[in-house]
Structure 1
Amino acid sequence: MSHALIADLGGTNARFALVPIHQYVPQEVRVLPCKNYDGFFDAAADYVENCSISMDNIDAVVLAIAGPVNQPVIRFSNNSWHFTREEIQAYFGEGKAVSLLNDFDAVGHCLEILSPEDVVVIGDKTWVDLKAPAWVIGAGTGLGVSCVVPQDNGPNMILPGEGGHVDLSSCNELEDDILRFLRARHKRVSAERVLSGMGLENIYEALAFREGIEKRLTAPEIGEALKSGNDPIANAALEQFFVFLGRVIGDLVLSVESRGGVYIAGGIVPRYVNEILNSGFRDAMQEKGRMKEFVSPIPTFVVMSEYPGLMGCACYASYLVSKA
C-alpha cells in the first residue's frame, strides 16, 4: 500500500506520522522535541529509522512548517532549523512527490475532512457557507493565520501570509496599559506578542505590573494557577487573551468576508474550551462599530482534533499523488 510521510514542524515540537494515501487519520505519530535535534534531517532520520514502513513504500512527503515557505532558505519562526527545498527533495529522493506547506496552510487543508465531532461551536451556531472563504487561526509557540478559499475541483486554495505578525490595537484603558507595557520592551507589539504561549505570559506580567507586582509566570505555571483557582491575575490574563483573540479575528473578518467561518486551532485554546465559551471572546470579535452586523453572523469554531496539521498534510498528500 502506498503511504505518505507527513510532518508538522513547529517551533517546539516536530510531529511525524505515516498515512495511507487517500486516508486521513495519522498513524505511528511521534512527537519529537526540536531542541533535541541539531536540525530537521536528524529528527527525520530518527523517525524514518524507527517507523514500520520503508522509504520504498512512501510515495509522497508533505511537511508543514512553522514559518514562510516561499523563500530560498526556509527558516523557522521560533527555532533555529533551516533547509532548502532542494535539500529536502535530495534527502527523500528525486522520485518522491514532495511538498512544503506553511503550518497553518496545512490546518487549512484539514477543513476539507473535518467532521462536526471535530469542532466546538463558539457563540450562536449560524449558517456556514461551505463554498465561502474561511479563516484558520491558532496560538501555540507562535500565532498562525491562514485564509482558506474552497475549490470545486482540487485542494483548498490557501492564501499565504504571516498574519500573526500584524500590529495589535487596543480598545480600552486596560488594553492601552498592556500595550504600553509591551511597547517599552518590544517597541512594536504584534498580535503574536499576546496570542501565543509567550503572549499569555506577557499579558500576565503586564496585568501584574498594573497591580504594582513584578511577577512573570511561564505558560505552564499559568495553567497550573488556573487549575488551582487561587490566582486572580491568571484568570484575568486568560480572559484578556480571549478578548485579544476576538479583536484580531474580528479584524480578519473585516479584511475577508469569511462566511465559511473562523476555525481556531493551535495548542492553547482547545485546552480551555469551557473558558472561551464563557469569556468575552465573541463580544470582542463583534465590537466593530458600524460593522458589527457585518461581523456578527460569522461562525467560529474550536478545532478539537489532536493533529489537525497532520490531517491537512494527509489530505494534501492524496492530491499530490493523484496529480503525479
Structure 2
Amino acid sequence: MSHALIADLGGTNARFALVPIYQYTPQEVKVFPCVDYASFFDAATEYLKSSSVNLQDIDAVVLAIAGPVNQAVIRFSNNPWHFTRDEIQAYFGEDKAVALLNDFDAVGYCLEVLNKEDLIAVGDQTHVDPTSPCWVIGAGTGLGVSCVIPQEGAPNRVLPGEGGHVDLSSCNEMEDYILTFLRARHHRVSAERVLSGAGLENIYEALSLRQGIEKRLTAPEIGAALSLGNDPIAKASFEQFFVFLGRVIGDLVLSIESRGGVYIAGGIVPRYVNEILGSGFRDAMQDKGRMKAFVSPIPTFVVMSEYPGLMGCACYASYLVSNA
C-alpha cells in the first residue's frame, strides 16, 4: 500500500506520522521535542527507524513548517532548525513527491476532511457558507494565520502569509498599558507578542506590574493557577488573551469577508474551551464600530482535532500523488 510521510514541525515539537494515500487519519504518530535534535534530519531518522513502513513504500512527503516556506533556506520562526528544499528531496529520494507547507496552510487544508464533531462553535452558530473564504488562526509557540479559499472540484486554495506578525492595536486603557509595557521591551508589538505561549506570559507580567507586583509565570504555570482558582491575575490574563484574539480575528474578517467561518486551532485555545466560551472574545471580535453588523454574522469555531496540521498534510499528499 502506498503511504505518505507527514510531519508538523513547530517551534517546540515535531510531530511525525504515516498515512495511506487517500486516507486522512494520521497513524503511528510520534512527537519529538525539537530541542532534543540538532536538525530536522536527526528527528526524521529517529522516526523512520521505528516506523512500520519502509522508505521505499513512501510515495509522498509533506511537511508543515512553522515559518515561511518560499525562501531559499527555510528557517523556523521559533526554532533554530533550517534546511533547503533540495536537502529535503535528497534525504528522502528523488523519486518521492515532496511538498513543504506553512504550518497553518496545512491546517487550512484539513478543513476539507475535518469532522464536524471536531468543531465547537463560539457564539451563535450562524450560517456557514461553504463556498466563501474562511480564516484559520492558532496560538501556540507562535501565532499562525492563513486564509482558505474553497475551489469547486479542486483542493482548497490556501493563501500563505505571516499574519501573526501584524501590528497589535489597543482599544482601552488596560490594553494601552499592556502595549506600552511591551513596547518598552520590544519596540514594535506584533499580535504574536500577546497571542502565543510567551504572549500569555507577557500579559500576565504586565497585569502583575500594573498592580505593583514584579512577577512572570510560564504559560503552563498560568494555566495551572487558573485551574486552582487562587490567582485573579491568571484569570484576568486569560480573559485579556481571548479579548486580544477577538480583536485580531475581527480585523481579519474586515480584511476578507470570511462567510465560511473562522477556525481557531493551535496549542492553547483548544485546552481552554470553557474559558473562551465564557470570555469577551465575541464582543471584542464584533467591537468594530460602524462595521459591527458586517463582522457579527461570521461564525467562529475551535478546532478540537488532536492533529489538524497532520490531517491537512495527509489531504495535500493525496492531491500531490494524484497529480504526480
Question: Smaller-chain TM-score range?
Answer: over 0.9
Structure 1 contact 154–319 (Cα < 8 Å) conserved: no
CA drift at 1:153:
2.4
TM-score normalized by structure 1? 1.00
Most deviating of 153-162 and 100-109? 153-162
Structure 1, unmatched stretches of 5+, are none
**What SS does the aligned partner of 2:80 have?**
coil
What residue is the counterpart of 1:57 in the other structure?
57
What residue is the counterpart of 2:33 in the other structure?
33
What residue is the counterpart of 1:10 in the other structure?
10
Please give the alpha-carbon distance, in whole angstroms, between the structure 1 residues aligned to 2:316 and 2:18. 13
1:95 paired to 2:95 = yes
Deviations 1:109-132 (A, max 9, x none): 000011210100000010000010
**What SS does the aligned partner of 2:213 have?**
coil
**What SS does the aligned partner of 1:80 have?**
strand
Please give the alpha-carbon distance, in whole angstroms, between the structure 2 residues aligned to 1:54 and 1:155. 28
Structure 1 contact 132–258 (Cα < 8 Å) conserved: yes
What residue is the counterpart of 1:277 in the other structure?
277
What residue is the counterpart of 2:115 in the other structure?
115
CA drift at 1:49:
1.0
1:135 paired to 2:135 = yes
Q: How does 1:152-231 map to 2 (within 5 A)?
A: 152-231=152-231
Deviations 1:36-94 (A, max 9, x none): 00000000000011100001110000000000000000000001000000000010000
Q: How does 1:239-254 map to 2 (within 5 A)?
A: 239-254=239-254
Deviations 1:135-167 (A, max 9, x none): 000000000000000111221111111000000
**What SS does the aligned partner of 1:129 have?**
coil
Q: How does 1:245-264 map to 2 (within 5 A)?
A: 245-264=245-264
Structure 1 contact 139–268 (Cα < 8 Å) conserved: yes
Deviations 1:295-316 (A, max 9, x none): 0000000000000000000000
Please give the alpha-carbon distance, in whole angstroms, between the structure 2 residues aligned to 1:279 and 1:12. 27
* % same residue: 81
TM-score normalized by structure 2? 1.00
What residue is the counterpart of 1:319 in the other structure?
319
Output the amino acid matched with 1:207. L
What residue is the counterpart of 1:69 in the other structure?
69
Please give the alpha-carbon distance, in whole angstroms, between the structure 2 residues aligned to 1:29 and 1:55. 16
Deviations 1:173-223 (A, max 9, x none): 000000000001000000000000000000000000000000000001101
Please give the alpha-carbon distance, in whole angstroms, between the structure 1 residues aligned to 2:237 and 2:155. 38
**What SS does the aligned partner of 1:271 have?**
helix
- Give the count of matched residue pairs: 324
1:81 paired to 2:81 = yes
What residue is the counterpart of 1:125 in the other structure?
125
Output the amino acid matched with 1:259. R
Most deviating of 91-100 and 154-163? 154-163
What residue is the counterpart of 2:48 in the other structure?
48
Runs of 4+ in 1 over 6 A off after TM superposition: none
Output the amino acid matched with 1:252. L
Please give the alpha-carbon distance, in whole angstroms, between the structure 2 residues aligned to 1:34 and 1:94. 26
**What SS does the aligned partner of 2:79 have?**
coil
Structure 1 contact 4–58 (Cα < 8 Å) conserved: yes
Please give the alpha-carbon distance, in whole angstroms, between the structure 1 residues aligned to 2:224 and 2:161. 34
Structure 2, unmatched stretches of 5+, are none
Please give the alpha-carbon distance, in whole angstroms, between the structure 2 residues aligned to 1:66 and 1:278. 30
**What SS does the aligned partner of 1:25 have?**
coil
Please give the alpha-carbon distance, in whole angstroms, between the structure 1 residues aligned to 2:205 and 2:174. 13
Please give the alpha-carbon distance, in whole angstroms, between the structure 2 residues aligned to 1:228 and 1:115. 33
1:287 paired to 2:287 = yes
Please give the alpha-carbon distance, in whole angstroms, between the structure 2 residues aligned to 1:181 and 1:266. 26
Please give the alpha-carbon distance, in whole angstroms, between the structure 1 residues aligned to 2:200 and 2:283. 20
What residue is the counterpart of 1:235 in the other structure?
235
Please give the alpha-carbon distance, in whole angstroms, between the structure 2 residues aligned to 1:102 and 1:79. 14
